[in-house]
Structure 1
């Protein structure tokens, strides 16, 4: 069994690891979570990979803690360490790969379809007001009508604009914390979407972090 240790950067109390925690438990992976606005490691040398979670912050604001996090993302790219970056994390990663984060005319909210390059479709939870643009050298793996970059890959780094880590409990927590603005609803009509999203995420994590 694997004894890998992954660093996780969390940006908001209500946006935790979700079903990534279940994957780690099944695969004997240790997750070391850092709450990025207050607490970041000095180096990633002792970790086998990096997971960047989402958050309500805007990359354009670039506070000091975000600058420190960007330095660590750059370190992970250079070392190199495998990276999985989600939503805000993907936007931060994109800036380190020569991309930009731009305001969307309309946000992408709730359960939405994304389309992969092989024409397969997955219904995923979305909640973002900005979108990513990337240099042409970086592979775009999935897109949606409103957001051309839903998943991208560059060498050992993967960015996701959507939230496959959000399980039912996580979405309930977000709905509670952001009651006035949270567009994600859970009901019998959305439960069917969870198993394919979980399968997608577990397969992605296994491949990205070298778990058999």
Structure 2
């Protein structure tokens, strides 16, 4: 009877916690030269997961692998991590000082760039044995780990989707450039043919005029 009650209680706890699992969160923004974002980290020792992908430029004719710079700074302004000249990157770091961390992007390209950016803070809450029932302390800890594992999967999926979007846009732009290049080459070939015909006609007209004289 007590075992059945414990299982019912455990199921009830899981059902109550599941609606509060954190959804995958990311933003897409357009950068001109520099853009900074802030994220508060409440606990030292937490793991911060970061990912970004340069989705596209504001012109289909621009294609470059120069990428952007990302610099991460702690609450005191000290540099924690940086990523230079990359079109996409994914990394994590351990928080040494809790507080507001800044994530600053720098665009060296003359064009506006669209960037997909995602930040997630991984934190485990450990429940003391004397503060909770001995059967529920491990359960709450496993739920916290499950929450983190699910979000890590969503974090990875979000990054892969951004990579797929970038590749699709690059392929579309390359196709457009190929079509435009073919049209320009065709127009140039037609123009050259017309000029050749015109020059040949002038040449024959001059020869005919000379022979008549």
TM bin (shorter chain): under 0.3
Please identify which structure carries the higher helix content: 2
**TM-score, normalised by the number of residues in structure 1:** 0.27
